[in-house]
Structure 1
Amino acid sequence: MKTSPAYYVAEIFESIQGEGNYAGVYSLFIRFQHCNLACSWCDSKYTWYKNDTLIPQTADELKDIIASSAATHIIFTGGEPTLYALDKLVIPGKKYHVETNGTVIPTEPLHIELPDGTYIERVAMKESIIKRFNWVVSPKLSNAINSQNTEYLHYWSARNWGIFKFIIQQSADIDEIEHVINRYSIDKNRVYLAVEGCTLQSQLRPKLVDELITKGFHYSPRLHVLLWGAKRKK
């Protein structure tokens, strides 16, 4: 199935940013439909595939929504937001953030057929625009089952556009992260580790957090999980 240069959006809502280097900040979230991966612990699996109930939106429509929000911080999330031309959604006076799995290079043209038969095509995003975004790149470890070739990390490690956020479940994940950041020369000061799970209890892992602290990593809370669990639009 061919898609037009439209934007398929799963949901739009205001909340606080729950994770990463802007945790706690009041933000407008635009969650895009479709993803090129299928990670086992994903908390937004409803975005993976084609949804016939969604009405495609134009860049101008989304910019109007962004302009009407009191939030200064705009979070592009998914799904995988880099399937879409995010540079076309920029208006003055807003700070943009992108939550990405990192496997799609934004400054290259994209032609991809997703598992549900949806064909996504977009032009290369303008680096002069997107380098001003706060990029939160979340590489997938072996705990995601659907872990990918990590060669794309050469691209992200060479660009000081934001941070890397890894999801951990156990001590072995921290060792794997150390191997990854050493291989790709990623500055540990750009790395945040968050504990997997969508319940309050899943986040209460003091021994695991103690271990990442001992090894010199930043800890990312998951504030939306602590406050609202797995509730959508939070």
Structure 2
Amino acid sequence: MSFKVVEIFESINGEGMRAGELAVFVRMKGCNLSCNYCDTMWANKPDCEFAEMTAEQIVDRVKKSGIKNVTLTGGEPLLQKDADKLLEAFSSEKDIRVEIETNGSIDLKPFLKFENVSFTMDYKLPESDMEKYMNTDNFKILRKKDTLKFVASSVNDLKKAKEIIEKYELIGKVNIIFSPVFGKIELTDIVDFLKDNKLNDVRMQLQMHKFIWDPEERGV
């Protein structure tokens, strides 16, 4: 049992409910989607270099860092065969908090049993060209410790996000974040949309790491 890991690095969480906190990022190879704004497309290419690592090696690497937050990302980390075995290996480490960044197309039910795991799940909006792949059954099982992220390219995307939030009655059930596609939408448009629609308990968030480092830089 091994996992295709393209990089492991220590940084701060650039987004999510632990934005600004230290985290160890474990980036897995491969994704089943191809969003037109993807900023890690390189990790999804067939010829992308990777290391085969066992669950024990990954957990040991995280423990040696002394950092409590670990973010499993990609690509789509839940596509990895035996992803549940990796989460099981982390489950005995009570001081480690595991966040899974997942793209909204994967059934999350099999991974709910791990108490120290939370999800940051995307809902791909129309301008991503991937909305048709969204698994809306996940809305039934998202919890208050989880996060639902809408990455918007336009005001039309924001309108669709609002429609989804209302249709599935998501406010109060899960943390909700609006995030801009970097360089595609005016930040003031998101603020104005939140104000105009009285979207209480919805949080706007920027990708912090793209303001600290070059937006194209890896391993940050």
Report TM bin, short chain.
Answer: 0.7 to 0.9
- d(CA) in 1 for partners of 2:189 and 2:138? 33
Deviations 1:94-139 (A, max 9, x none): 111111112111444xxxxxxxxxxxxxxxx4x321x532210011
Report the 3-state secondary structure (helix = DSSP H, G, I; strand = E; otherwise coil) of the residue aligned with 1:138: strand
Structure-to-structure mapping, 1:1-234, within 5 angstroms? 5-51=1-47, 53-84=49-80, 85=83, 86-90=86-90, 91-108=93-110, 125=111, 127-129=112-114, 131-150=115-134, 152-160=135-143, 161-187=145-171, 190-197=175-182, 205-215=187-197, 216=199, 217-228=202-213, 229-234=215-220
Moved more, 156-165 or 47-56: 47-56
Structure 2: runs of 5 or more not aligned:
none
Report the 3-state secondary structure (helix = DSSP H, G, I; strand = E; otherwise coil) of the residue aligned with 1:105: coil
Q: Are residues 175 and 207 of structure 1, via their aligned partners in 2, closer, same or farther at CA, if it must alter by over 3 Å?
A: closer
Deviations 1:162-195 (A, max 9, x none): 0101101211111100111222222266210011
**What TM-score results when the alignment is normalised by the length of structure 2?**
0.86
> Displacement of 1:83 after TM fit?
1.4
- d(CA) in 2 for partners of 1:106 and 1:219? 24
Contact 2:94–2:116, Cα closer than 8 Å, also in 1: no
> Displacement of 1:52 after TM fit?
6.3
Structure 1: runs of 5 or more not aligned:
109-124
Question: How many residue pairs are counted as aligned between the two chains?
Answer: 208
* Cα-Cα RMSD: 2.1
% identical equivalent positions: 24
- d(CA) in 2 for partners of 1:43 and 1:83? 18
> Displacement of 1:88 after TM fit?
3.1
Letter in 2 for 1:187: I
- d(CA) in 1 for partners of 2:109 and 2:87? 10
> Displacement of 1:203 after TM fit?
7.6
